[in-house]
Structure formats: structure tokens, C-alpha cells
């Protein structure tokens, strides 16, 4: 067995509790570090995954439809969005609505692609009294 094995066996019999606690402490710290690395990796990819699922690479604003846009080879899809409201919004209340903070879009088929619903349900597209406000 040799001198090293003899010393190791004697130390193991004498200090096995402290070595067990040290091994458990290393395992807990290692688990916390691995969990932190996994959470960091998931967090760093959260926004790109969200954009891939719900976002667009580019927005083009035009007052008329551009049918040639969908024929371009680098364009995957084109969604038309109507803006039914324009001008200064008014309210029967006493304060003035800031025009730059107010925008109305009509998204019928594109609604699930453009927004991510966090709570509640999507509005019924055929019901005129249901809207989605953010």
C-alpha cells in the first residue's frame, strides 16, 4: 500500500466529516455557478429569440402599398398595416393628449405576429367593440 496510502487512510479515518462537508460545499457552489451561467446564457439570447418569434427586421412607412417590395429576394414577408386615425387626438377630459404619444394602427391578420400578449386574451377580430391597447 505504501506510505502515501497509509497516511491517506489515517487522515480519512480522522477527518472524514470535514472532508464530507468540504465536498458538499464545493458541490453547492459549483451548482450555483452552473445555474448562473445557464441563466446568463438564456438571458443573453432572450431578445434575439423574441425578435425571431415576434419582431421584424425593418419597417417601411408609405402612404400607398408597395407591391414590388414582396418580390425582392431578401424580403421574407410583407404585412400591410393601416393607420385609420390621423391628426391631433382630442378628449372630453380637461387635459391635452400629446400627439407623439398617441398612434392608432389597424392590425388584422398581423396582430399575433406584431404583439406578444402577456395577460388576458387577444381581441375578437370581428367584434367592433374589442381592441388591444398597449
The single residue listed with the C-alpha cell 472524514 is 16
Strand-pair partners of 106: 82
- Residues 7 and 64 reside in one and the same domain: no
| Number of domains making up the chain | 2
- 49 is a domain residue: no
Nearest to 105 by CA among 86, 83, 128, 88: 83
Average confidence (pLDDT) over 13-17:
87
Statement to judge: residues 77 and 124 lie in one domain:
yes
| Residue 82 bridge partners (DSSP) | 106
Check residue 28 and give its pLDDT: 97
SS3 82: strand
pLDDT of 47 strictly over 70: yes
19-23, 53-57, 70-74, 106-110: least confident range: 106-110
**Quick check: is 50 in a domain?**
no
* Mean of pLDDT values over 95-101: 71
The cell numbers describing 112, all together, are: 399575433
Q: Are residues 67 and 133 in the same domain?
A: yes
Q: Which domain holds residue 75?
A: 58-134
| pTM for the model | 0.41
Q: Cβ of 96: how many Cβ atoms within 10 Å?
A: 10
Helix (H) or strand (E) holding 2: helix 2-44
DSSP structural state of residue 126 = T
Is 66 in the same domain as 107? yes
- The average confidence (pLDDT) of the chain is 80
129 grid coordinates = 367593440
What is the reported pLDDT for 5?
84
User: Residues 19, 75: one domain?
Assistant: no
Amino acid at each position: 500500500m505504501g506510505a502515501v496510502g497509509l497516511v491517506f487512510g489515517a487522515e480519512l479515518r480522522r477527518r472524514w466529516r470535514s472532508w464530507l462537508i468540504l465536498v458538499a460545499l464545493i458541490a453547492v457552489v459549483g451548482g450555483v455557478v452552473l445555474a448562473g451561467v445557464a441563466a446568463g446564457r438564456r438571458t443573453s439570447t432572450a431578445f434575439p429569440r423574441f425578435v425571431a418569434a415576434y419582431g421584424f427586421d425593418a419597417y417601411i412607412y408609405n402612404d400607398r402599398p408597395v407591391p414590388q417590395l414582396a418580390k425582392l429576394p431578401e424580403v421574407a414577408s410583407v404585412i400591410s398595416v393601416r393607420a385609420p386615425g390621423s391628426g391631433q387626438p382630442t378628449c372630453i377630459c380637461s387635459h391635452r393628449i400629446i400627439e407623439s404619444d398617441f398612434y392608432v394602427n389597424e392590425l388584422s391578420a398581423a396582430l399575433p405576429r406584431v404583439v406578444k400578449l402577456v395577460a388576458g386574451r387577444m381581441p375578437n377580430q370581428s367584434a367592433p367593440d374589442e381592441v388591444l391597447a398597449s
